[in-house]
Amino acid sequence: MTTKNMEKIKVIKSLEINASPEKIFNFITDPSKIPSILPGLIENSNVPALPLTAGAEFDYKYQMYGVMLDGKWIVDEIESPKLYKAHTTGGSESWWTQEISGDGDKSTVTLTIEYKMPDGILAKIKSDALMSINDKEADHMLHNLKTILEM
């Protein structure tokens, strides 16, 4: 589901994954692994030692619709193995919540992303088309996570 108000665009997606909450949590909280599942993420750098804690931050490079965005990813809240919240600053402002529920080897991951579009990108793409593309990218991220963790 994708919604829009004058300030932010919000995407909420859920997917069942045949993996334990711990396995999923350990994967999504390792910044070196995220470029393998998040379309457009070129790299994360200056990553602190794991495990991440609230207040930890690192740099990211993300390409969105031909525009390169650089910024910081800042961990807001982290509770193993069920919650990972962070926000980004710099090229794009966004707020990410990843919630994991389940037992054993079956879990549900719910991804909520709220973001403001950078002006340069808004000028290139109509808002409704942008929402559709970002909705599909959130789906791709969760399906990529599922594919990797179920191998």
Give me the helices (H) in 3-126, please: 21-28, 119-124
Tokens at 19, concatenated: 């993996």
Give the HSE-up count for residue 96: Cα atoms under 13 Å, Cβ half-sphere.
Answer: 19
Phi and psi, residue 8, nearest 5°: -135, 160
CATH fold for domain 2-149: Alpha-D-Glucose-1,6-Bisphosphate; Chain A, domain 4 (3.30.530)
One-letter amino acid at 138 equals A
Q: pLDDT tens digits for the chain (151 residues)?
A: 655 554 678 999 999 999 999 999 999 999 999 999 999 999 999 999 999 999 999 999 998 777 788 999 999 999 999 999 999 998 789 999 999 999 999 999 999 999 886 565 555 566 667 677 788 999 999 999 999 999 8
For the chain, the structural domain boundaries read: 2-149
SS3 category, 127: helix
* Amino acid present at 30: D
